[in-house]
Structures are given as structure tokens and as C-alpha cells.
Chain A
């Protein structure tokens, strides 16, 4: 963090949460005010003010989005995509265990591939329907995996990092896949 730059994590949080139309304006306003406050007070006071504004602004925007029903539409989209994603995942796992790899050890190797593929496809579909839905979809995947780990549904003995991989890589695949796909499409359009 340089002398005049605001807390990086707070900026990233705002970039992730704020709605697109006002994201640039709000961040710009906060950065401008932060610099003025750094000059008139101290960097610590200015950072504290920046964090307080970040937390309160995120809450205000979430509440406003809930009131305007934008959030509810995104949650519904995420839920719909999630159901389709799980059906696809279940069908693929069934096919693998029946025809491709009936042995439990091969299944352990192939399960993450199916899970990450369905998460990435789900993320792309959700982003195509509604951009904001990917965050909720990632959250749903995270909650489901956490519940499954807690219930210990996996009967085959696996190391801790195997389950932890599902918990972290699943939501990341949901969010990153549409971004990568979008960049690839942009590059294709340029060339």
C-alpha cells in the first residue's frame, strides 16, 4: 500500500459487490476523499474512514438491491442453474460409475473433474442469463459442499485436501470460467 493509495482489500471488496452503473463513481469518490483525508489527518484515520465507508456502503447497496428485487431475480436464476447443474452432475457420475469406471478409486479421480466441469459450465450459463447470479451460484456451491463435508457422505477414505479442494475450487470455477470465456470471446472478436 503506497502512501496515497487506499486499502487494497477494501477496494477489491467494493469492486466485487457494487453494481456496475455506479461502481466507478463510488470508488472514485472514495479514493478522492481518502487522499484529501490523508493530507488533512493521518493515513490511519483515513484508512479507518475508508473501511467504515466500505462496510456501510456495501450494506446500503445490498439492501437497496433487495428492495429493487434485483437480488431476488439473481438468486432465482442461480437456483435454477444450480438445479440443472446438479442434475447434469448426477447423470455424469451415474454414467461414470456404471460404464466408465466402476471401481471406487477411479471414481475418486474422476469426481472432481465432473464437479469442476459442471461448476464452470454452470457459471458460464448463469453469467449469460444474469451477471450477478454467479456470486449466488458460487455461494450455493460452497454451502452444499460444506454441508456434504459435514455430513461425511463420502464413504471412500480420502485425504483432507481432497474435500477442501471441492470447497474452494468449486466456487472459484463458477466465478472464473465466465470471465475467461468472456475474454476469449473478446480476443476472437478483435482478431
Chain B
């Protein structure tokens, strides 16, 4: 991750959802996890568009699973968090933490 380059909010949430699934999950599981935890009803297209972006950045990798009858004979695309993705998450968390440190109680004065 380049210096100063932060994860977008959706990228951040999706990477965290993948980590919550032990680093491996397909799009619908990621969507469901986000909806259950944040109440945000994302479209599956938005999830895959973000995962595609994360894959292009090298933060996640994907492989095609076996097709199943419940999915109308279509294969799953399983995403896996890469080491670069974990690093990007750490950097983002660290940046947010350092920017929010000492701000407790100051929200109301702004």
C-alpha cells in the first residue's frame, strides 16, 4: 500500500467482512455479513465491483469453486484476503486511530 493511500469506506468494510469469515468467502456471504452487522443493504453488484477493485490492487485473490444445483449450476467465486490486504487494513486502522486519539469529548465543542 502506497504511503498516504487509504482504503475507501466500502473497501474497508468489505475487507473486514472477509477477515470475519476467516479470510475466505463469496460475494453473498460478504453482503450478508455487512447487512447483519451494519444494517447496510448493499447490492451484490456493488460488493463484486469493490472486490474486483481490491483484487486489482492485490489485496484479495479469488478462485472459482464448483458449480452447484442450488445456484442454478453456476460456480462460486471465493475471495481470499492476501497479505497486502491485511497490511492495508492495519495501515487504515492505524491512521484512523491516530487521527481520533485525543478527540474524545471534543465532538460537542465543534
**Residues of chain A at the chain B interface (Cβ within 8 Å):** 5, 18, 21-22, 24-33, 35, 52-53, 56-61, 63-64
Contacts and interface: CB of A to CB of B under 8 A. Distances in A.
Contacts of A31: 70-72, 74
Interface residues of B, number: 22
- Judged by DSSP, the binding face of B is helix
B27 interface: yes
B75 interface: yes
Contacts, number: 77
Contacts of A53: 43-45
A26 B45 contact: yes
Contacts of A21: 52
Contact of A26 (B27, B64, B68): B27
Nearest to A63: B49
Interface in B1-49: 26-28, 31, 43-46, 48-49
- Judged by DSSP, the binding face of A is helix
Nearest 8 pairs of A and B residues by beta carbon: A57-B45, A28-B74, A56-B43, A25-B77, A28-B71, A60-B45, A64-B49, A29-B28
Interface of B: 26-28, 31, 43-46, 48-49, 52-53, 64, 67-68, 70-72, 74-77
A59 B46 CA distance: 9
A58 B74 CA distance: 19
Contacts of A32: 28, 68, 70-71
